[in-house]
Amino acid sequence: MLVVKDPVCGMVFVKEDAAGQTLYNGETYYFCAPSCKKTFVSEPEKYLATFNNKDRSKESNEINFGENERNEKDNGLREHD
């Protein structure tokens, strides 16, 4: 299972459950909700400045969890209003 992090709200979710995605500067970003995608597209640099300085690699917004951590987080991965 591959999970990604929404650059707008910070939610971590299963890549296949993404509500949207966009390509920006050669990298694909995934979103938990259409509203997050819309927000990102309007001001990508604003969100990437914060996103890139937190807990992700600049090369990819895909996050590989270890088996134990993945099992603990699985219940909350798909919840978002």
What's residue 20's pLDDT?
A: 98
What's residue 54's pLDDT?
A: 61
CA distance 81 to 67: 27
Say whether pLDDT at 79 is over 90.
no
CA distance 42 to 68: 37
Q: Once rounded to an integer, what is the mean pLDDT over residues 11-20?
A: 96
Residue-wise pLDDT for 21-56, tens only, equals 999 999 999 999 999 999 999 999 999 988 876 654
The chain-wide mean pLDDT, for the chain, equals 78
Is the pTM of the predicted complex or chain greater than 0.75? no
